[in-house]
Amino acid sequence: MIRIEHIGMTYDKGRVVALQDVNLEVNKGEIFGLIGPDGAGKTTLFRILTTLLLPEKGQAWVNNYDVVKDYKAIRNSVGYMPGKFSLYQDLTIEENLNFFATVFGTTIAENYDLIKDIYVQIEPFKNRRAGKLSGGMKQKLALCCALIHKPDVLFLDEPTTGVDVVSRKEFWDMLKSLRKEGITILVSTPYMDEATLCDRIALIQKGSILSVDTPEGIVHSFSGQLYAVHGQGTYHLLQATRGYEGVASCFAFGDALHATFKPGAQGPALQAYLQSKGHSDARVDPIKPGIEDCFIQLLNQ
Amino acid sequence: MRTLFFLLEKEFRQLLRNRQLIRILFIAPMIQLILLPLAADYSVKNVNIAVLDQDHSPTSTKMIEKIKSSGRFRLTGYADTYKQALAMVEQDKADLVLQIPLHFERDMTRENVGKLYIAINAIEGTKANLGGAYLSSILNDFNEDIVTESGPINPSPNAPQITVVSSNWYNPHLNYNLYMVPAILVTLLTSIASMQSAFNIVQEKEKGTIEQINVTPIRKYIFILGKLIPFLVLGLLLFSMGLVIARAFYGIIPLGSLWVLYGSATVFLFSMLGLGLLLATYSATQQQAMSLAFFFINIFNLLSGVFTAVDSMPNWAKTLVETFPTSHFIKIMRSVVLKGSDFHDTAYHLGAMALIGLVLNTWAVLNYRKTA
């Protein structure tokens, strides 16, 4: 559904590399996640795929249309929800939706089925101006507007940034129901926990794709055993753990430390070492890695 | 075309919802149009004059009376010495000093020659120039009076004399309002048309809404038209308001037809809005657009012959001014309002404005890239 081949892009006359030889393939009807920190190049890739930016190198196809040559066809068949809320704040919910429907030559009634589940949640406020809506409602309206012309592909650029946990969960539920309609969804997010909700993900960093796989596949590809280190005084504990020569990597992770070992070293030995260093409550347990652990490992390779 | 209709519906809805902007757009020009012509008047009145009369003769007294009664001058004082008179200039009490030397009357009657000395404070150029010119013409008149009065005694030389009698066509009383109000209305339209259209598009850039528009199948020129038409309507409304004010406050009733006025105004707005749209394509923020727009508006309004005649400018400036829609529209306005010119008379200026508008708008459409 989306095919990206050797896409490269720079800003400031080549001084800033935004994308570097990016290759990706997104299948029809899947939710594909683009996971990476701020500044990784996610938005640039979205803007190229939605025909807002011309790539410097490489080629890309959306729905079998070339992003450069067939931009008109793409604009008719994709929905785009930019990271920044970009609907008309001085128009009401209904006016915004109506406007985007008519611009695509359709009506709200025609594709109401597609947006119904989302629209009913904001319908009580349909006469309220978009600028006066809460973050979650804005996001739902933006999704409705991106869907109103029944696109084949939906591009969602950081749709959940700045949205509360409950709304985020609701939002992902909505995406799952859209997938049932056969819509291909490319979604970017800086939140690793959302990665597991995608069918497949690509980890992106500094303009390059590090890995593409299913979330399980990425987790399986983690090399070595991961250990969690618990104990009082995270900072000193981190210093002490990093000081142990058998440790390959160690990062703070919430209230724990995640560590991997060089070949030969073992968890119990580290625990004994830490306790000897005065961290009497230190505990080292083997754990299953998450997406973020994989991401950090890939970054360090 | 259907898309254009929906775009226009959206634009008007947004425009009408922005009450504060509408208020400013109508009230500010209204105040300016009512107040500015009252002040922007070249006829110099109240020139302060100090008189240093060293002659104290009936002739000098008569001369001073004549100056006083002209209505242009205000006698601020008599000085006894030249130093004193100059001090009055230094203190800004007098703009002019008229010195009538000792034996002025005697020299006039005996030798037929009288010398006067005028000192002008040239800090305020226009006032000094015109004040000096007025005074000279009054003195000339006075001179003729003396020649006539004393004619039989001192027959004037039989040299041929040229007398020039001028009459002011189209504006017999040189009423400045007739001349200034239409031009000021044009300058107001110049700024509003170019700035508002530029701001409107740049605002869409700043808020990001243009991204959302760009991923829709809306064509470039449709989008630009969608921005142009609402402001064209707004501009014509302002223009109408201006004509009403000109009539109500200054009693100016255009001699020419309203069709010519509105036709020209439409072409003019088309070109100025084109400038605004073009500036918008070069600006990322409203601040940038404002700075760019100011640059052009200032030049347009100052060089287009509102205050200073274009004909007296250097050649390069004249050529430059030919590319200003403002200059063409001011010429049209003045000739239609004062002279009653028709489409045929204004064809050159109309054509020039249309051409400029076409170039600017095409440029704007080409430069507004959806992909960048």
Spell out the domain ranges in chain B. Answer: 2-40+174-367, 47-149
Same domain for A283 and A189: no
Chain B partners within 8 Å of A53 (Cβ): 371-372
pLDDT at residue B291 above 70?
Answer: yes
Write down the pLDDT at residue B41.
67
Angstroms from B214 CA to nearest CA on chain A: 7
Classify strands A283-287 and B73-78 as parallel, antiparallel or unpaired.
unpaired
pLDDT digits (tens, 9 = 90+) for A245-291: 888 888 888 888 898 888 877 788 888 888 888 888 888 888 888 88
pLDDT digits (tens, 9 = 90+) for B186-212: 999 999 999 999 999 999 999 989 888
Residues comprising chain A, all counted: 301
CATH classification of the domain holding A206: 3.40.50.300
Same domain for A284 and A169: no
> On the CB side of B208, how many CA atoms lie within 13 Å of its CA?
11
Determine, for residues A86 and B208 on separate chains, whether the beta-carbon distance falls below 8 Å: yes
Q: Please list the alpha-helical segments (H only) found in chain B.
A: 2-17, 19-39, 58-69, 82-90, 104-111, 125-149, 176-207, 209-214, 220-250, 258-282, 286-303, 315-321, 325-334, 343-367
> On the CB side of B184, how many CA atoms lie within 13 Å of its CA?
24
Name the DSSP letter for residue B336.
I
Chain B partners within 8 Å of A51 (Cβ): 215, 370-371
pLDDT at residue B372 above 50?
Answer: no
Domain span at residue A23 reads 2-220
How far, in Å, CA of B289 to CA of B360, rounded? 16
How far, in Å, CA of A10 to CA of A207, rounded? 10
Same domain for A278 and A152: no
Nearest one of A25, A48, A22, A50 to A36, comparing CA atoms: A22
Q: Is A71 on the interface with B (CB under 8 A)?
A: yes
How far, in Å, CA of B183 to CA of B171, rounded? 15
CA distances from B76 to B48, B60, B66, B72, B135 (A): 6, 17, 15, 13, 15
Q: Is A85 on the interface with B (CB under 8 A)?
A: yes
Same domain for A296 and A168: no
Same domain for A105 and A234: no
Largest CA distance in chain B: 96
Give the SS3 label for residue B21. helix
Write down the pLDDT at residue B245.
93
- Rounded to 5 degrees, φ, ψ at B82 are -65, -35
Nearest one of A235, A211, A229 to A221, comparing CA atoms: A211
Nearest one of A269, A213, A216, A212 to A241, comparing CA atoms: A269
> Of A50, A85, A99, which has the smallest distance from its Cβ to B6's Cβ?
A99
The DSSP H or E segment spanning B160 is none
For chain A, the domain total comes to 2
Task: Write down which residue in A180, A202, A220 finishes a domain.
Answer: A220
Same domain for A256 and A216: no
Write down the pLDDT at residue B163.
62
Nearest one of B163, B183, B159 to B32, comparing CA atoms: B183
- Compute the C-alpha angle A258/A260/A266, nearest 5°: 115
Q: Is A191 on the interface with B (CB under 8 A)?
A: no
Determine, for residues B3 and A84 on separate chains, whether the beta-carbon distance falls below 8 Å: no
State both tokens at B62.
Answer: 């008569």
A300 compared with A111, residue with greater pLDDT: A111
Task: Write down which residue in A154, A186, A220 finishes a domain.
Answer: A220
The answer to whether residues A52 and A155 touch, using CB atoms and an 8 Å cutoff, is no
Between residues 16 and 75 of chain B, which touch chain A (CB distance below 8 Å)? 17-18
Write down the pLDDT at residue A149.
92
Chain B partners within 8 Å of A145 (Cβ): 212
Determine, for residues B14 and A87 on separate chains, whether the beta-carbon distance falls below 8 Å: no
Same domain for A241 and A119: no
Angstroms from B271 CA to nearest CA on chain A: 27
Confidence of residue B157 (pLDDT cuts 50, 70, 90): low
How far, in Å, CA of A195 to CA of A200, rounded? 8
Q: With left for phi above 0 and alpha for psi between -120 and 50, is residue A107 left, alpha or beta?
A: beta
Same domain for A290 and A231: yes
Determine, for residues B209 and A87 on separate chains, whether the beta-carbon distance falls below 8 Å: yes
Same domain for A237 and A211: no
Strand order in the sheet with B47-53: B73-78, B47-53, B96-100, B117-120
Chain B partners within 8 Å of A101 (Cβ): none
Same domain for A266 and A248: yes
Residue type, B258: L
Looking at mean pLDDT, say which of A211-220, B119-128, B164-173 comes out highest. Answer: A211-220
B47-149: which CATH architecture?
3-Layer(aba) Sandwich (3.40)
Mean pLDDT calculated for residue range A44-52:
92
Determine, for residues A52 and B370 on separate chains, whether the beta-carbon distance falls below 8 Å: yes
pLDDT digits (tens, 9 = 90+) for A86-117: 899 999 999 999 999 999 989 999 999 889 98
Mean pLDDT calculated for residue range A21-44:
91
Give the SS3 label for residue B208. coil
A196 compared with B369, residue with greater pLDDT: A196
How far, in Å, CA of B151 to CA of B143, rounded? 12
Angstroms from A3 CA to nearest CA on chain B: 19
Same domain for A198 and A295: no
Chain A partners within 8 Å of B211 (Cβ): 52, 80, 82, 86
Paired strand residues for B99: B52, B117
User: Is the Cα torsion angle B363, B301, B200, B27 positive or negative in sign?
Assistant: negative
CATH classification of the domain holding A255: 3.30.70.100
Residues ≥6 apart with Cβ < 8 Å to A161: A83, A189, A190
pLDDT at residue B329 above 90?
Answer: yes
Angstroms from A161 CA to nearest CA on chain B: 17
Task: Write down which residue in A188, A203, A220 finishes a domain.
Answer: A220
Same domain for A278 and A210: no
Angle of the A93-103 helix axis to the B2-17 helix axis, nearest 10:
160
The answer to whether residues A78 and A155 touch, using CB atoms and an 8 Å cutoff, is yes
Nearest one of A134, A157, A174, A193 to A78, comparing CA atoms: A157
Determine, for residues A103 and B218 on separate chains, whether the beta-carbon distance falls below 8 Å: yes
Determine, for residues A82 and B208 on separate chains, whether the beta-carbon distance falls below 8 Å: yes
